[in-house]
Amino acid sequence: MTISEPLREGLPWDIVPGGNDDDHLREECGVFGVIGARDSAAMVALGLHALQHRGQEAVGISSYDGQEFYSRRALGHVAQNFSSGAAIAELPGSMASGHVRYSTTGGSGLRNVQPLFADLATGGFSIAHNGNISNAIHLKRDLVKRGAIFQSTSDTEVIIHLVATSRYPTLLDRFIDALRMVEGAYSLIVMTPEGMIACRDPLGIRPLVMGRIGDSVVFASETVALDVVGAEFVRQVEPGELVEVSMDGTVLSHHPFGNRKARPCIFEHVYFSRPDSIVDGSSVYQVRKAIGEQLALESPADADLVVPVPDSGVPAAIGYAQQSGIPFELGIIRSHYVGRTFIQPSDGARHADVKRKHNANRALVQGKRIVLIDDSIVRGTTSLKIVQMMRDAGASEVHMRIASPPTSHSCFYGVDTPERSKLLAAQMDIAAMGEFIHADSLAFVSIDGLYRAVGEKDRKAKCPQYCDACFTGDYPTTLTDLGERDQKQLSLPVEKVA
């Protein structure tokens, strides 16, 4: 999440989701922290490697040895930058935190790579952030008027300045004071000379879990990162909770924001989290299978094969196949050695990206009626190309089934989605979408079916259990930086394309 320069009225381009030409929803980042470990930086690097799917464009690790803070930040993957002993040796100390991120337009460059660091009156302050502060422009404008000088275009830096200018006596109280002024979604790992603080926003929109390995306390965006470093899962950090761990290992829990109904992001179950993670007490893999089962019950198809769009469509396709009795087959093979679309040098290379990532298994699909299972449709361009790829491979029919409801609204809580005008489901009804991607039929799991898959009876309209704004437009917080005009547009119905 970035704040553009100079400040402008309304919402700058790099805060408008969709600063890239990818046709997939993307998490913005993942965080990992450990305190009380001799090899803290090495453990953070390993944990970040397990979270690489949450951010593949930049990585940073900061550490503290009881006297000094150290930092190493770079563009690229974890393995590219932290696989050598020399790199880890630059980060001594028993406390360390790290961050993997995606950037949006205007937000790339080392100055935005986290963790961010500042020397405050109370000492060093390092912060890693997953999420999005939805009133960051408003806050930054006020801070700049009061003399603040920003070194990055990240919304995370707003928190640093709010802490620095707070008049409360203790650092913890200053931090809480700062968080009371921000809105939106955040999971934060903060390091100070006194220890580590991990916290989630009051609605728990972005995930954060806590574990232990020996005498060390570990925090991570997903449980899979705990597994990889050999830490035992203790619990999730509760919505609105601040967990304070001192340098001597004392753990204190604070709940300064009262009790509010949690609204964790439901798309963690659909796509963002690794299938071997546990989210909100449920296996992501099992939930995705259950979504496929719901799809089969709600939208059956007369077909010969169930084919996932790899890799994210695989668990749902297994569930669909088991429920429907239609055989599951890998009718599409994915290459895992293809770079991201937007870094390719020409338009022709970008257009060829789908074929370089996915190739039809012609021997299986030729002459067959196919049910294609994918996690979502964003702009629709990838679905169009994959459906055509199946037809080119000889499939006689292609029926598309999507393991989430139509994505009809943008996310402003730390997920990189296109602006609403570029979301296919905001412009067309399902029948028109099916025609656009040239499928013989198209269906999405219902919102109630999605809730049943995650273990809820249905979506309670007056108090939904998750943040599902990308499907429903029901944003659980105010969105100050959108401005009144944009707020009104969010509430207006979008004319459907016939």
Largest pairwise CA distance in the chain: 73
Using alpha carbons, select from 430, 426, 433, 434 the residue that is nearest to residue 409.
426
- So what's the pLDDT on residue 109? 80
The answer to whether residues 25 and 246 touch, using CB atoms and an 8 Å cutoff, is: no
The answer to whether residues 96 and 71 touch, using CB atoms and an 8 Å cutoff, is: no
**Order of strands, edge to edge, in the sheet holding 232-236?**
69-75, 58-64, 95-101, 29-35, 216-220, 209-213, 232-236
- DSSP code of 16? S
Average pLDDT over residues 30-53: 97
With bands split at pLDDT 50, 70 and 90, how would you rate the model's confidence at 344? Answer: very low
- So what's the pLDDT on residue 353? 62
Is the predicted pLDDT of residue 295 greater than 90, yes or no? Answer: yes
- Per-residue buried b or exposed e for 409-430, using 16+ beta carbons within 10 Å of the residue's own CB: bbbbbbbbbbebebbbbbbbeb
- So what's the pLDDT on residue 211? 98
Q: How far apart are CA 353 and CA 358, in angstroms?
A: 8
Helices (H) and strands (E) in the chain, counts: 19, 23
The pTM is what? 0.89
The answer to whether residues 98 and 32 touch, using CB atoms and an 8 Å cutoff, is: yes
Is the predicted pLDDT of residue 34 greater than 80, yes or no? Answer: yes
pLDDT > 70: percent of the chain: 86
- So what's the pLDDT on residue 3? 35
- The tokens for 70 are 């150290």
Which positions are catalytic? 29
Q: Which residue has the tokens 């994210």?
A: 312
With bands split at pLDDT 50, 70 and 90, how would you rate the model's confidence at 335? Answer: confident
List of domains in the chain: 26-263 (3.60.20.10), 283-475 (3.40.50.2020)
pLDDT in tens, 227-238: 999 999 999 999
What one-letter code names the amino acid at 24?
H
- The tokens for 453 are 């898959």
The answer to whether residues 267 and 415 touch, using CB atoms and an 8 Å cutoff, is: yes
What one-letter code names the amino acid at 178?
A
Tell me what the pLDDT averaged over the chain comes to.
88
- So what's the pLDDT on residue 329? 97
Q: How far apart are CA 284 and CA 289, in angstroms?
A: 9
Is the predicted pLDDT of residue 204 greater than 60, yes or no? Answer: yes
Torsion, Cα 146 151 153 158, to 10 degrees, reads: -50
pLDDT in tens, 312-327: 999 999 999 999 999 9
